[in-house]
Amino acid sequence: EMGIQQSKFLAKAFAKFNNNTLDTRIKDESLDAAAKDSPQITLQNVIVSESLKSTKITTKIASPSQSAAASEPPQSLTPISSETVGTSGKKLVRPAFVNALEAKQWNPNNPASWDAEMREYHTLAESDYVLPTDAKEQDRLEMQHYVHRAAFNGDIISPAAKKLVSSAGVKVLDVGCANGFWLQCVAKANPLPEYHGVDISESLIGAPPSENGGIQLVFGNVLEDPDNTFDYVHQRLLVLGMPREKFPNALRELIRVTKPGGWIELVEADIVCYNAGPYNKTSGTALFDAMHRRGLDTYAATNLPWYVKQVADSVENQENILVRLPMGSWGPQIGILNAGSSKAGMLAMEDWMHKSMGITREEYRDLAQNCYQEWTENKCFQQCRAVYFQVKK
């Protein structure tokens, strides 16, 4: 649990920094001790390789299945006997297969199926989202927010959008806004625009606009706004709630509600641990299969340009940035924060994944802890991509 506590401390520390000081190292003796023998990577070096950063898409864009295979082939689900690995000495859980029925039909939006151990989920029947909507999940989302703020050097990535929000009369929409934390951060630094958010979680939206600094938060799974309403539309990390087949139509809806000449910004992550050891290969193999059976895209960051290509006739001035985020204290600061957020994400999927894998909750929690330790031992990282573009005038 020390890693989670350090992550929460870091999240609070990050909150004290504005967008112009993100490259400043956080000085704290406890964190220096935690990262004692690790490479000292400062926040401005979160982008591990400059060759990964591009302003134009110049490579051939493959289909999702092709690009996923090229990025990292999924592990085959072959039976492997348990073995003792890693520094913890605990036995590694290696499922021979994922229970296809549990993985596909597990239903978080039916309260009758919740047991005492389960988290609180949304109750929107048509939603595909598999993560909880309770206070623990909001804490995780806020940690995750600071990870991405550091990774992309700000809450807003598009230079054009940064200019837009400095003006009055501009309308901003955040899709999948949860409790509006991203909107609150942007509005605090840029109070002139009009801010709106939409989310499937009624419990997270909660407070009326007057209690959200005037930000308008709406419950729903579809955009009901009129055409040509917003100047800037933001959507981040809906990979666990957006099936592959729905992604292009969802983008068309974003384009529909955006004014001609307005900007849309998308951020997605590959739900893949790179440099994975045996624990993370076990977890990743099962998650890949379970997500695939629900139609979800494990390689959403890799495939994001392909999805945008499906609406290419409606957009222009497209740019993308690919970043690699360290996991674990080898980072060190951003890695510790990202590891805390990622472990919380694994635990948020506990009910779905332990049933899908056919293991107990305790075995799944042990697996999550071993994955957490392995992130530092193997210098693991995640891959995220931002794509932003302008709606044609």
Residue 316 in 3-state DSSP?
A: strand
Q: What's CA 289's distance to the chain center, in Å?
A: 19
Phi-psi category of residue 206: left, alpha or beta, with phi > 0 → left and psi -120 to 50 → alpha: left
Residue 219: its pLDDT value, please? 82
Give residue-wise pLDDT tens across range 158-169.
999 999 999 999
Q: What is the DSSP string of 48-106?
A: --GGGEESS--SPPPPHHHHHHHH-PPPP-------B-TTT-PBPP--SS--HHHHHH-
Higher local confidence (pLDDT), 212 or 254: 254
For CA atoms 203, 299, 352, 282, the dihedral sign is: negative
Give residue-wise pLDDT tens across range 77-130.
333 233 333 334 444 444 445 777 777 877 766 666 555 466 777 766 666 778
Cis omega (within 30 of 0) for bond into 191: no
Give residue-wise pLDDT tens across range 174-225.
999 988 999 999 999 999 999 999 987 776 666 555 456 678 988 877 678 8
Residue 191 in 3-state DSSP?
A: coil
CB 242 within 8 A of CB 295: no
SS3 percent helix, strand, coil of the chain, rounded to 5, is 45, 15, 40
* Per-residue pLDDT at 326 exceeds 80: yes
Give residue-wise pLDDT tens across range 18-59.
333 332 222 233 323 323 332 222 233 333 333 323 222 222
Give residue-wise pLDDT tens across range 89-100.
444 444 445 777
pTM of the model: 0.78
CATH architecture of 2-15+61-391: 3-Layer(aba) Sandwich (3.40)
Q: Where are the domains of the chain?
A: 2-15+61-391
